[in-house]
Amino acid sequence: MKFLAISQKVLIMTGIILPGLILPGDASAADPYAAVRNKLVDQRIANAGVTNSRVLDSIRSTPRHEFVPSSQLPRAYFDMALPIGSSQTISSPFIVASMTEALDPQPTDKVLEIGTGSGYQAAVLSPLVEHVYSIEIVDELGRQAERTLTRLGYPNVSTRIGDGFLGWPDASPFDKIIVTCSPESVPKPLVEQLREGGQMIIPVGERYQQTLYRMTKTGGELVREPLQPTLFVPMTGAAEDSRQLKPDPAHPQVINGNFELAAEGAQKDLEDYIPGWYYGRQVARVEMSAPANSQVNSQAAPDNEGGKAFARFTNETPGLSSHLLQGIAIDGQEVTMIRLSGRCRTENVAIGPAKEALPAVAISFYDKLRQDLGTFSIGPFRGSRSWRSSSRLVRVPPQTKEAILRIGLFGATGTADFDDVQIEKID
């Protein structure tokens, strides 16, 4: 229960617990699952930019609680990824909705899904397309998903156990392909099995530095359109065996914690995108040349110790998300303690609807099964204050295999600037 309480605090901070949430089993609600699904869609998915009515209706009607382990039922309708066993996760409802919308599902589409997981994404796609073919490399997960999909009645979903890197050649070509795990590069068999003019939604990149792309097959080649930075579990099997760049969990580090790196090329067009970070909400990279049109801007140059840029979070709606996240490889057997540090400046910051809804720098640790091991933070910060450095020593749980770093307003209103966000291994 201790870890669950910590986890709920983090969820409130990141704006993914719904205020006034009715949990399944609440006797005061005739249909509590429908109530929380509707609230989830209205407050965390539609408000975050998903507009396709067919996709929103599918999320409203798909029973996510049927696709999570019993231990995760209390969090089934939180907008967060959840562990489902075998070191795999079910993606957050927003990511599922966003990827589904990006796929532009049509009633005549034949869709290939790589990474069945729990079967939730396939279930969401089922009423939107003609047929879904879904592949899972983990035998136990694939068989459980097949049982769940059959029991709930999804006759147009076919599943198989296998390496998604190889695709499903005897069912090809596919109108659409959706990949719910991340390879370093696009597997060639998937390119071959996508019809000319077809589209693929796929996260590609390093283990903790990925970009979600929409790729359209034109003249036998894929034309890439970046959608957003993201973090997915790796595509295992042949894709992971051939990965060239691998993280070093014995020497964890924050990428672009000083925000000096700016977006380049097509990534400049991505809203809320700052290199090294993902799932940005209401955030912008601000350079020191910004017009001095407020107290915050006028203090930028002298107070920031010569840095060229910083991350600015702004929010006017209490409870609305405004944050950045970053995944970090860290091995608790190799790293026993870290120093978490950062600089923050605030202007007119007021607490959000939850007591934890204030600016902070927070790090959460997870074990090899992606179970939550606890969260530690510096802050919270409130009111108006000039640039100030903060740090703390954090003991790393020995079971740790990865971490998520979070910065932002977390539902508070006002403006918060962050810079020099770092973790340092303490020997």
The structural domains of the chain, with segments of one domain joined by +, span 31-241, 265-425
pLDDT score at 345: 97
Residues in Cβ contact with 139 at an 8 Å cutoff, skipping those fewer than 6 apart? 161
pLDDT score at 299: 44
pLDDT score at 87: 80
φ and ψ of 347, to 5 deg: -140, 120
Compute the distance between CA of residue 375 and CA of residue 378 in angstroms, rounded to an integer. 11
- What is the architecture of the domain spanning 31-241? 3-Layer(aba) Sandwich (3.40)
Of 147, 151, 170, the residue nearest 159 (C-alpha): 147
pLDDT score at 30: 55
Which residue positions in the chain have pLDDT lower than 70?
A: 1-31, 266, 289-306
pLDDT score at 355: 83
pLDDT score at 367: 93
- Read off the pLDDT of residues 207-263 as tens digits, 9 standing for 90 and up: 888 899 999 999 999 999 999 888 888 887 777 777 777 889 999 999 999 999 998
CA angle 58, 280, 19 (to 5 degrees): 60
Alpha helices by DSSP H, listed for 222-337, are 238-241, 295-298, 300-303
**Residues labelled as active-site residues:** 91
> Contacts for 272-278 with beta carbons within 8 Å, 24 or more apart?
273/228, 273/229, 274/311, 274/324, 275/229, 276/209, 276/326, 277/229, 277/311, 277/324, 277/325, 277/326, 278/210, 278/228, 278/229, 278/230, 278/231, 278/324, 278/325, 278/326, 278/327
pLDDT score at 27: 38
First to last CA, the chain: 31
Q: Looking at domain 265-425, what is its CATH homologous superfamily?
A: Galactose-binding domain-like (2.60.120.260)
> With contact defined as beta carbons under 8 Å apart, do 256 and 310 qualify?
no
Compute the distance between CA of residue 116 and CA of residue 159 in angstroms, rounded to an integer. 8
| In the chain, % of residues over pLDDT 90 | 65
pLDDT score at 33: 82
* Sign, Cα dihedral of 240, 246, 250, 256: negative
